[in-house]
Amino acid sequence: MIIWSRWGIVVLLFVGLGVLLGFGLASLLGFADQDGAVNGVFVGLGFMLSSIALWAFSRFVVGKHIDKPYAAVFYERLAEPITLANGQVTNTRAVPILHPDTGAQIYSQPVSSFFFIPIRIWVFILPAVGLLIFVINLIAVLGGN
């Protein structure tokens, strides 16, 4: 079963980026050889930082280019085949779908999602998970475990 639609799989890449950022921060600050709870604090920070990158990706790439709306059409069968300008013969034509009351063109909005949650919502889930990881591990570090 596929758990993502369209470009939703990139959320998984940003989760991996968060873990890498966390371990990178820990090693950069000299905490790489510490126990797991100290590294967990930095992984929580990495998740929060990767959510910023996911927000930018969602806003400037997915929202503007990947999931942009497109005109909804249906294909009407013609009585007899026609020849197009490129020489191809067809017996259908695309007809735009119009709103019955206003007569305006109807557009379809595709959505990229991961675990059936749109990418724009994951921008809020990742920092929440990161904060949870951060707090749990910070308590473990301060508690001496």
Cα 15 to Cα 8, 28, 53, 111, 132, distances in angstroms: 12, 20, 11, 20, 14
Beta 4-5 vs 107-108: how paired, if at all?
unpaired
Contact 119, 82 (CB under 8 A): no
Query: Would you give the DSSP letter of residue 66?
Result: I
pLDDT in tens, the chain (145 residues): 478 888 888 999 999 998 898 888 888 888 777 777 888 888 899 999 999 999 999 999 887 888 888 888 889 898 888 888 898 888 998 888 888 899 889 888 888 888 989 988 999 999 999 999 999 989 988 886 5
pLDDT given at position 15: 92
pLDDT given at position 16: 93
Quote the CA–CA distance of 124 and 58 in Å, as a whole number.
12
pLDDT given at position 6: 85
pLDDT given at position 12: 92
* Global model pTM greater than 0.85: no
Contact 139, 44 (CB under 8 A): no
pLDDT given at position 145: 55
Quote the CA–CA distance of 85 and 14 in Å, as a whole number.
45
- Of 136, 134, 141, 142, give the one whose Cα is nearest residue 42: 134
